[in-house]
Amino acid sequence: MNQFTYTSEIYLLVIFLLNLVTTFLLIPRIRNTTLKLGYIDTPNFRSSHQNSVPTFGGIAFYISLILTLFLLQKEYDNAIIITLLVSISILFSVGLKDDIKNSSPKAKLLGQLIAVSLLMLHSEFYISSLHGFLGIYEIPTIIGVPFSVFFLVSIINAYNLIDGIDGLASMIGIVAALSFAILFYNLNLYFYTGICVALISMLFAFLRFNFSVKKKIFMGDTGSLVIGFVLGILGMRLMTLDFETVSMIGIPRSGIPFLVLTILIVPTFDVSRVIFIRIIKKMSISSPDRNHIHHLLIDSGLTHKKVSLLVGFVNIFLIFMMYFSIKLVGLYTSISFLALVLLIFIYIFFIMNRRFDAIRTRIKLRNKLSRFFRYFTSSIKKQKIK
């Protein structure tokens, strides 16, 4: 464990500025190269964009993370840093392949499983106890390792799926990384605080281009898989800390898994809700649709920026409320409160989803009728000409 000093805080500032500048300088060059090579995201029925946009913004994230781990190498176990580098590189390669030419869901999942499984070589990256959360204490390794792999793969894919509109994935990433940074800072865990600071700076720099009209670029799977993976690692590390360390943030050890869930509530809630809808509709859970939260909010008339800011603000509010709720009124009261809030959101989105489904059905019917009348009119004109 590293004790923070004035010098350490200056070092964190250096990491922030270095990643901010690196990402800011790299993205325009990546964008120009992507345009020359013709690797662009073409809109489809699920897209919230009307124009093709270059992707591969995640290349800047990968380079920045490599740089960050290099700067922090003296602060942690080299074996763990090497494993992190290899796992991040595998996920970067999986995302790069998918951005160049769409990969099958099975191929992407295989790459994720390999990357995540490598981390299981280190005890601090798999859950061996929930320390009383939901009445669960020690977890046998034979259960803890598969559960940990499932947790990390789920976070990776959940984060990947919220990357559907400008700014949302970046905003949620910044909120989550900032929350983790505050916790790790108070726990005197310098290495993980540095990673959080790097995430915040690179995502903040990326927002400048992601929200731009003339210089727009997407992070693509190259970015979302890597960022989702790092956020999952940060959450996992919090859940594997010992009791003495966790006591420094003023909440019970059993409340940590719940707090991690709250920090990552947007991607986990959204993917759980979408999967449930697809199962109810007897669709494949990997089938694309427009039932994500961001799609519903965009369809309601909000802009990309407003949706991203709104969801980010709600995420901050829930994290703030749940932390103090755990601290002041206890874990199970906090769980009940969050469950009530989520049920309210589920009801609101259910009503919105029904309304937009009806609108989409009417639009499809109107388009079919329009095509029919155009065909009918064209046929009559041809007959007259003959």
Percent of the chain with pLDDT over 90: 51
Specify the range with the lowest mean pLDDT, choosing from 7-16, 25-34, 170-179, 263-272.
Answer: 7-16
Instruction: Give a yes or no: residue 301 inside a domain.
Output: yes
| Residue in 368, 22, 304 with CA at minimum distance from that of residue 164 | 304
pLDDT tens figures, 148-166: 999 999 999 999 999 888 8
- The verdict on residue 367 lying in a domain is no
The whole-angstrom separation of Cα 242 and Cα 248 is: 11
Which is more confidently placed, 190 or 177? Answer: 177
Any domain includes 279: yes
Which residues, including other chains, have CB under 8 Å from residue 249's CB and lie 6 or more apart? 183, 186, 187
Q: Alpha-carbon distance 111 to 116, whole Å?
A: 9
Contact 340, 328 (CB under 8 A): no
pLDDT tens, position by position, 109-130: 999 999 999 999 888 888 888 8
Domain count, the chain: 1
Q: What pLDDT, on a 0 to 100 scale, did the predictor assign at position 77?
A: 76
3-state secondary structure of 335: helix
The answer to the question of residue 140 being in a domain is yes
Contact 289, 47 (CB under 8 A): no
Q: Residue 56, Cβ neighbours under 10 Å: how many?
A: 26
Rounded to whole angstroms, the Cα distance separating 202 from 231 reads: 14
- Alpha carbon distance, N-terminus to C-terminus of the chain: 88
Residue 381 lies in a domain: no
Tell me, yes or no, whether 374 lies in a domain. no
pLDDT class of 1 with cuts at 50, 70, 90:
very low
pLDDT given for residue 111 in this prediction: 94
- Phi then psi for 378, rounded to 5 degrees? -65, -40
CB neighbour class for 292 (10 Å; exposed up to 12, middle 13-18, buried from 19):
buried
Residue burial 12-22, b: 16+ Cβ < 10 Å; e: rest? beebbebbbeb
Whether residue 370 is contained in a domain is answered as no
* Span 344-381, pLDDT tens digits: 988 888 887 776 665 655 555 566 666 656 655 665 55
Domain residues for the domain of 277 are 6-333
